[in-house]
Amino acid sequence: MTKEQKSEERKKLFGFFKRKEKPAETTKTEVEEVTEEKLEQLDQIIKSDSGEVIPEKFSAGKEQFEPDFKKIKEIKEDQELEEVEKAKEVEAKGTETKETEEKKGFFSKVKQTLTTKTISEAKFEDLFWNLEIVLLENNVSVEVIEKIKDDLKEELVDKPLPRDVESKIEETLAKTLKNILSFKRIDLLQKAKEKRDTEKKPLIIAFFGINGSGKTTSIAKLTNYFQRNGLSVVLAACDTFRAAAIQQLEEHADKLNVKMIKHDYGSDAAAVAFDSVKYAEKNKVDVVLIDTAGRLHSNTNLMAELEKIIRVVKPDLKIFIGESITGNDCIEQARKFNELVEMDGAILTKADVDEKGGAPLSIAYTIKKPILFLGVGQEYKDLEEFDANLILKRLGF
């Protein structure tokens, strides 16, 4: 091989290597450029409002995709709202089903005994247990439950069972409960007008109950009730043990634009009541409402003060005020106050949040006196005349 041929072969050989190296440099440059471009896109996406690393545009052949972040947000919110509503619906349905099954348990068990044609006393005791639990859970007192039990026994035990035994049981229960609530209603407006017109004297009403039962607020609501019906009112601040109690009643008096009689802190409560009555007689005021100190029925000294107020002013009506949502505690308070001063009726507060309904029934049966009003809110107008049918409806009758 000549020198020229060898030189040519070397050029070709080195030229091959050079060609191989050049594409490698190009590839490296392209990779670097692509990486830079991608990083710029990622930086822009991270700065976007969505906060999510989603490409703004992405090539899938001929089609272009641009995510609608506003729509995605709306879909998520709709899904969350739907899940919450479903959860509430399931919970409500479960509670309703449970209550219905419990109330119907007694009826269905009695129906199953139709094959025996009669129910023995022992069998009745076993069956009644189911209904008794439901009544207790609804704040129905033991005395009322015993009354219901006796009436049902009389109708069912050792007697031929009718085909429509469930209707018979419901009819007996409804009759018993209506009888418990059938006390003659006291018309406060009529009593106030009659005493004013015939005796030229005010109607005197004293209120009793423990601290925190809503007594003062109920008195303010009654004041508004009398005013709306054309009767004048004076308030007696006989809770002299708490300065805050006098201030609270005075605030109501100012808002309602009525006179309030008060003495100094620690004064004789009976003297305040006496002065209030004298003011009403002198100024021809139609109604005197006496706010007494809230106290536990177990406090002998404070309960003696109530007796003194009653001896001094001889109120026409003595009304117990208690919270219906406290259930058996409210029933026991009514019993003790009634034993001491013999109540003429009751007002139950917070009835709007009492879903059970057993307290009015039990208190009426315990003191053998009517429920006059139910407190159903915080406004002065939120005082409803008692409706026995509403209580029966809450109990499922």
Residue showing tokens 């990486």: 35
Residue 275: HSE in the Cβ half-sphere, 13 Å Cα cutoff: 14
What is the C-alpha separation between 141 and 362, in angstroms, rounded? 5
Identity of the residue numbered 226: F
Contact between residue 215 and residue 248 where contact means Cβ atoms under 8 Å apart: no
What is the C-alpha separation between 255 and 324, in angstroms, rounded? 27
pLDDT (tens, 9 = 90+) of the chain, 397 residues, equals 555 554 554 444 334 334 444 444 444 444 444 455 555 565 565 555 445 444 444 444 545 555 566 666 666 666 666 665 656 555 555 544 455 555 445 445 545 544 456 788 888 888 788 888 888 888 888 888 899 889 888 888 888 777 777 777 788 888 888 888 888 889 999 999 999 999 999 999 999 988 878 899 999 999 999 999 999 999 999 988 877 888 999 999 999 999 999 998 888 999 999 999 999 999 999 999 999 987 665 566 777 888 899 999 999 999 999 888 877 788 888 888 888 888 999 999 988 777 667 788 888 888 899 999 999 888 999 998 988 887 777 666 6
CA quadruple 93, 94, 99, 104: dihedral positive or negative?
A: positive
Q: Which CATH superfamily is domain 188-394 in?
A: P-loop containing nucleotide triphosphate hydrolases (3.40.50.300)
Report CA-CA distances (Å) from 286 to 17, 222, 231: 121, 13, 6
Write out the CATH class of domain 91-180. Answer: mainly alpha
Q: Where are the domains of the chain?
A: 91-180, 188-394
